[in-house]
Amino acid sequence: MPALDDLLTCLRFPSVSTDPKHQPDVRACAAWLVEKLRGMGLTVELHETPGHPVIVAKNAHQPGRRTVLLYGHYDVQPPEPLNEWRSPAFEPTIRDARVWCRGATDNKGQLMAHISGIAETLAQHGDLPVNLTILFEGEEEIGSPNLKPFLEAHREELACDVVAISDTGMVAPGVGTFTYGLRGIACLEARVHGPAIDLHSGIFGGAVANPATVAARLAASLHDAEGRVAIPGFYDGVRDLQDWERAAWAELGDGEAETLELTGSPALFGEPGYTERERRWARPTAEVNGIGGGWQGAGSKTVIPREAFVKISFRLVPDQDPARILDLAEAHLRAHMPAGARLEVHRGHTGQAYLMDPGSPFGQAARRALEKTFGGQVALIREGGSIPIVQAFKDVLGVDTLLLGLALPDCQAHAPNENFPIASFEAGIRLNQELLRALAA
């Protein structure tokens, strides 16, 4: 199958965007994509950025047709730890009807399915049913630092009616899945400073505040004992789950058992009154992503450390405002500081939650395409993660994004033994054709 050959070729480029030594590989992958798209008859431009290049490709746009922007990324996560791979990370291997390689799912498999769908349509019909703008970047895995400026600089060139992305998940094999919401994010780091030097905890223990204890008390202050976020005002403006959502998600099967198996946690835990799926997809959270202070080695070292830190991220839902959440969090942390220690707060990145109406015309078109591709009922879900580019498309281009992902829970994105079922790849090719057709209507 030429489409599969193309995928394997694309996978062989170790296009690890975070690693400077792979910079030539990222570029080579981009160059190969440019040639591939040109060979299909598209007009292609490779745009330099301060980082890795952006590819823009178009068919001949005609007035009166819908314009669809298709986004994907050709960079991949680092493959480490290498010794956990059953076959080499950058030598695509077919085993158990899956392709095993870094990037197989995230995002080359899904990106190449779109390319192959477009190629088939062009080969059969000579044109696409819509004005298509392809936008591929090479920096998604490092936070897309140059994408929003690129969108702003090429606003007219990228003007479109809707964006489509295949970089999210399916709830189960063969179940077409439409993601209509994503959580937002707000990060901060609290650094607690106490004595000027690490102190002997025998000589000074009892006299001064211990920054490790203070940092722990700050982290502990984020939740009540049952798992609700305890920051005053945190839940203000949180949009309630709608009845149809709760009903639809309840029909998706036993999420609790699946989450227990995926995480290996001894038990589930979280905000009372919601299923674990509701908590992950539609409720805001506060998580300690890192905490540290004092002796980190084996055994004991009896010090009072001079400083300690807590790294916190909040996952946000409509209509929480990330900046306001960081204001509330900082005020809450400051209110929990004892005498004898000093708090330094560093604000990190933020992103709005995303929610579109799956009953809108574009939402319905996406669902029709999924239905035709997979048969059966389309799962309507939100996801708990954040995809900042979706907000960038909304902010800069003023359009919604259709998330029609093909990743399965066992595809190991970001982990060793990443893989993509060949059936998913083939479904992706059909999905692209159905989607462009549905969006044209």
Which residues inside 194-253 make contact with a second copy, applying CB under 8 A?
194-197, 199-210, 212-213, 215-223, 225, 227
Minimum CB distance to a second copy, residue 351 (Å): 10
Contact by Cβ (8 Å): 428, 113:
yes
Residue span 302-321 as binding mask against a second copy, x where in contact by CB under 8 A, dash where not: xxxx--x-xx-x-x------
Q: How far apart are CA 426 and CA 373, in angstroms?
A: 10
Considering only residues 8-67, where is the footprint of a second copy by CB under 8 A? none
The window from 7-15, 33-41, 96-104, 287-295 that contacts a second copy (CB under 8 A) reads 287-295
The window from 21-29, 158-166, 188-196, 374-382 that contacts a second copy (CB under 8 A) reads 188-196
Q: Is 348 in the site for a second copy (CB under 8 A)?
A: yes
| Alpha-carbon distances of 216 from 222, 306, 347, rounded to whole Å | 10, 14, 19
Q: Is 83 in the site for a second copy (CB under 8 A)?
A: no
For the purposes of burial, counting CB atoms within 10 Å of the CB of 325, is it exposed (0-12), middle (13-18) or buried (19 or more)? buried
Minimum CB distance to a second copy, residue 224 (Å): 11
Looking at 179, 373, 386, 401, which residue binds a second copy (CB under 8 A)?
386
Judged by CB, which is closer to a second copy: 303, or 365?
Answer: 303
Tell me the site size for a second copy, rule CB under 8 A.
84
Judged by CB, which is closer to a second copy: 218, or 366?
Answer: 218
Take residue 385 and report the two structure tokens written for it.
Answer: 């993660």
43-47 and 54-58 beta bridge pairing: antiparallel
Looking at 125, 269, 375, 423, which residue binds a second copy (CB under 8 A)?
269
Dump the DSSP string for 342-397.
Answer: EEEEEEEEEE--EE--TTSHHHHHHHHHHHHHH-SPPEEEEESS--HHHHHIIIII
Count of CB atoms within 10 A of residue 373's CB?
22
Helix (H) or strand (E) holding 47: strand 43-47
Minimum CB distance to a second copy, residue 239 (Å): 16
Q: Name the E strands within 74-120.
A: 93-95, 98-100
The window from 90-98, 256-264, 357-365, 430-438 that contacts a second copy (CB under 8 A) reads 256-264
Contact by Cβ (8 Å): 78, 103:
no
Looking at 127, 189, 330, 426, which residue binds a second copy (CB under 8 A)?
189
